[in-house]
Amino acid sequence: MFEALAERLQQVFRGLGRHGKLRPEDVDAALNEIRLALLDADVHYQVVDDLLERVRSRALSEEVSRALNPGQQVIRILHAGLVEALGEPGRLSLKGPTPRPVLLVGLQGSGKTTTAAKLARWLRSRGERVAMIAADPYRPAAGQQLALLGSEIHVPVFHQPGLSATEACAAGLEAAAKGGASVVLIDSAGRSQLDDEMMAEVEAITQRVQPVETLLVADAMTGQEAVHVADGFKARVRLTGLILTKMDGDARGGAAISMRSVTGVPIKFIGTGEARDALEPFEPERLATRILGMGDVVGLIEKAQEAFDQGEAQAAAERLMKGDFSLEDFGEQLAQVRKMGPVAQILEMMPGGLAGAARHVDGEAADRQLRRTQAILSSMTRDERRSPDVLNGSRKRRIAAGSGTSVQEVNQLLRQYQQMRKLYKQVGKRGLGGLGLLPR
């Protein structure tokens, strides 16, 4: 999903990452690229303008973060802007006397029937007793499709060819009441485009059954067209929510960003595939993350910033610059890493290739290793950590015994530390900006 968009955005962020600070000209250059990428993904231009205006003023007014590089900082701000544009997570409001009618409307092919079945499963898993009504009097096959899906998931379907849509709804509700259903999903008839007859029918059903929810099912792959359809429906019926289907396709996808801003109707679910369980309650945070195409890099960035103690790091950075990196600093860095969470989780949150690598890493072993390393460090005296050169054979044996490890492991740790010190010395000569993730 959103792959093309995500890729373009990543390129923008990479460009930003090379400089040391967020300068207005860098922000503007990045925002121009982001604008083009969003317009290409078929996001409504007005929505793009509003979003970028907010991102720009935040990016320029925010204090330059010492924990994040400029690319990461813009990602965080853009992510927050996207979350705002996507709106609150919409929840179903199922109140009133049972059975509670939930009406699904939308164009033909948008995914209404498929979504009805997915939603039925989802509601049932939350303890609802669900029934469905086929309310498409024009295409008998449509009713059969729903009946078949219903039998596969063991949800009763009212399907009686020959009845008008409103008659089917009334009779179906009655049957559902007798059957003890708490929620009834109504699969209405769609048309290939917005037309008056379809709207009139939806209005008639609404009057007859007074649905507690009227959900527009819209095909996210159609981009702006989906926004146009939502506007058309909204003019005639009181939509209480949107379900965006086919969010698994990577084409366009800008509809998701525009839908909420343009229509004001909350997105309640997204469909992510043809399978029966490919329906997710809409989570703006998660979707914004996917749009940026960065695994949960945003979560990672947030954690990094939380874990980052500015004062501590500043002092350590100054020592590093002088090539004066003690085992104490080494230990502190390990502690920072551990504050971010289990190793596997950290890798999982990395973009693209690294997220894949997480599968090949034994996270538990890595965490165990980290814990052992910390045990060794805490078995040393403060002086030993500050001047590791004093560590002779007998001290090493004492440390190994104290930490429940071996002299071999203590030596291994010392080798790692020496390598790291060498690295920092080199970096120190060139400036810390050389390492993207380190404090500047």
Task: Give the residues lining the site for ligand GDP (CB under 6 A).
Answer: 106, 108-114, 190, 245-246, 248-249, 271-274, 278
- Rounded Cα distance between 67 and 79, Å, is 17
Interaction residues for Mg ion, span 62-121 (CB under 5 A): 112-113
CA-nearest of 250, 311, 247 to 279 is 247
Nearer to Mg ion, 106 or 156 (CB): 106
Minimal CB distance to ligand GDP: which residue? 271
363 binds, among Mg ion, ligand GDP, none (CB under 5 to 8 A by kind): none
Closest separation in Å from C-beta 185 to Mg ion: 12
Report residue 125 as tokens.
């898993």
CA angle 414, 415, 421 (to 5 degrees): 85
- Rounded Cα distance between 400 and 373, Å, is 11
CA angle 70, 86, 225 (to 5 degrees): 115
Closest separation in Å from C-beta 274 to ligand GDP: 4
Establish if 142 lies at the interface with Mg ion (CB under 5 A): yes
271 binds, among ligand GDP, Mg ion, none (CB under 5 to 8 A by kind): ligand GDP
Distances (CA, A) of 242 to 92, 125, 183, 260: 11, 21, 18, 9
Nearer to ligand GDP, 106 or 428 (CB): 106
Check the CA dihedral 312-315-317-319 and report its sign: negative
Site string for Mg ion, 297-336 (x = CB under 5 A): ----------------------------------------
- Rounded Cα distance between 152 and 103, Å, is 21
State the distance between the two ends of the chain, measured CA to CA, in whole angstroms. Answer: 35
Distances (CA, A) of 417 to 286, 313, 326, 331, 351: 38, 18, 8, 10, 28
Q: Any bridge partners for residue 131, and if so which? A: 184
Please identify, among the stretches 136-144, 148-156, 348-356, 368-376, the one whose residues bind Mg ion according to the rule CB under 5 A: 136-144
Nearer to ligand GDP, 250 or 367 (CB): 250
Work out the number of other CB atoms within 10 angstroms of the CB of residue 63. Answer: 7
Minimal CB distance to Mg ion: which residue? 113
Closest separation in Å from C-beta 243 to ligand GDP: 9
Closest separation in Å from C-beta 247 to ligand GDP: 6
Classify residue 89 by its DSSP letter: P
Nearer to Mg ion, 135 or 292 (CB): 135
Closest separation in Å from C-beta 214 to ligand GDP: 15
Nearer to ligand GDP, 253 or 271 (CB): 271
Closest separation in Å from C-beta 187 to Mg ion: 6
Closest separation in Å from C-beta 199 to ligand GDP: 16
Chain contacts with Mg ion (rule: CB under 5 A): 112-113, 142
